Every structure is written in structure tokens, then in C-alpha cells.
């Protein structure tokens, strides 16, 4: 699993972001937007994911679109990410987009090392995930959730539940006493990914200052 470092390596603020190869190509745009929005000096560690449906899935599930089933590799991916969080002088924030956003939220229920999580356009339609969230307490103090307003307007009957599942997740987290923010963005799932991620990371960074 390749890890690419950006920004100020000496900063005590470390953003960890599972990414696809396509997202790596726009990482500098995302970095610039975070810097502009937050005013923070930070390091971003991009963890390249080569098998999206396996490495980010918390448990096995049948394919929802296409013919690629979901694996159960999230635990192994989290173990690798935790190796990047050993300096206790630093604060770590985990964020991701789509299935990586779901992974970030799942990770928040597994480990308390993160100061905040940004689950951006997360795949909360994933089978049984909101039930998992209701039964497993979130271990991080703050969570940012967002979704495009058109993301649920799809023909796929599973994916079309994403907005309802997002509201459910927000209510669950708030009920657990988590400082949770929910933001709606214009457009569908594929709009403005770097900007949406920047908004998520900036929100948790700025919340630390208040």
C-alpha cells in the first residue's frame, strides 16, 4: 500500500486520506482548497487504494452495481493506516470520499486515535451499515458528514437510500453525543470531489480551534 506525503511534514496536524489513483491526480487542488478554507498548516498522507471494493469494505456484501462484490478488507487497511499514527505529539484526522468515506466512519467506531473524521459523500447505502453504527459507539469526538443533493436520485434501489441513511447516521451520532456536522452540497456523486473533501477536512480542522 503506497503512501504519498504532501504539505508540511513537521506539522502536528496530519490528514490521512485513502485515495484512488484518479483522486491522486487532483490532490494538489484539494490541498490548496484546504489551505485556503482552514488557514491551517498541515501534512496530508494519501494512502493509495488499489482494490476499492475489497480494501475499504468492512464486511462481505453482494455487488450493488456491476458485478464486483464487496470484500472484507477494511480491518487490514485500518491496521496499515494506524501505523501512520504513532507520534502522539500529533493530531490525526481521517477522511475519505464515497466508499472511503464509509470506511472513515467505520474506523471511527473502531479506534479513538483520530481527532476527527470527514465522511464525504459516504456510501451509507452499504448493507447493514447504519445498524452497525447504531450498535457500536463512535470513538472520535467529531464527525463531518456531507452528501450531494442529487446523489439519491438514481435508479439503483440500494444506492437511492443514501440520503435517508445519511440522516439516520447523523441522528445516531448526535444521539451518542458526537459533535456531528451535516452538510448538503449541490450536484450528484461525481461533482467537485476535491472541493467537497476540502470542505470536510477544513470543517474538522476549524472545529479544533473553537
Q: What is the CATH number of the domain that holds 124?
A: 3.40.50.1820
The residue range of the domain holding 184 is: 3-209
Summarised one tens digit per residue, pLDDT across range 18-36 is 999 999 999 999 999 999 9
- Percentage of the chain beyond pLDDT 90 is 95
Q: How many domains does the chain have?
A: 1
Q: How far is CA 36 from CA 32, 126, 168, 195, in A?
A: 6, 33, 32, 11
Summarised one tens digit per residue, pLDDT across range 81-128 is 999 999 999 999 999 999 999 999 999 999 999 999 999 999 999 999
Amino acid at each position: 500500500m503506497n503512501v504519498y506525503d504532501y504539505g508540511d511534514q513537521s506539522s502536528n496536524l496530519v490528514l490521512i486520506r485513502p485515495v484512488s489513483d484518479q483522486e491522486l491526480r487532483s490532490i494538489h487542488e484539494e490541498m490548496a482548497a484546504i489551505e485556503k478554507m482552514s488557514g491551517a498548516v498541515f501534512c496530508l498522507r494519501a494512502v493509495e487504494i488499489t482494490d476499492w471494493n475489497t480494501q475499504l469494505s468492512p464486511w462481505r456484501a453482494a455487488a450493488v452495481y456491476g458485478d464486483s462484490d464487496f470484500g472484507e478488507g477494511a480491518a487490514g487497511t485500518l491496521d496499515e493506516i494506524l501505523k501512520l499514527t504513532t507520534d502522539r505529539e500529533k493530531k490525526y484526522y481521517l477522511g475519505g470520499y464515497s466508499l472511503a468515506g464509509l470506511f472513515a466512519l467505520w474506523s471511527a467506531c473502531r479506534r479513538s486515535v483520530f481527532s476527527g473524521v470527514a465522511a464525504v459523500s459516504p456510501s451509507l447505502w452499504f448493507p447493514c451499515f447504519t445498524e452497525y453504527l447504531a450498535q457500536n459507539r463512535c470513538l472520535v469526538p467529531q464527525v463531518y458528514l456531507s452528501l450531494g443533493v442529487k446523489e439519491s436520485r438514481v435508479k439503483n434501489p440500494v444506492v437511492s437510500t443514501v440520503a435517508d441513511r445519511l440522516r439516520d447516521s447523523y441522528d445516531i451520532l448526535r444521539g451518542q453525543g458526537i459533535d456531528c456536522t451535516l452538510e448538503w452540497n449541490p450536484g450528484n456523486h461525481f461533482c467537485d470531489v476535491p472541493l467537497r473533501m476540502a470542505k470536510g477536512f477544513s470543517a474538522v480542522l476549524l472545529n479544533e480551534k473553537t
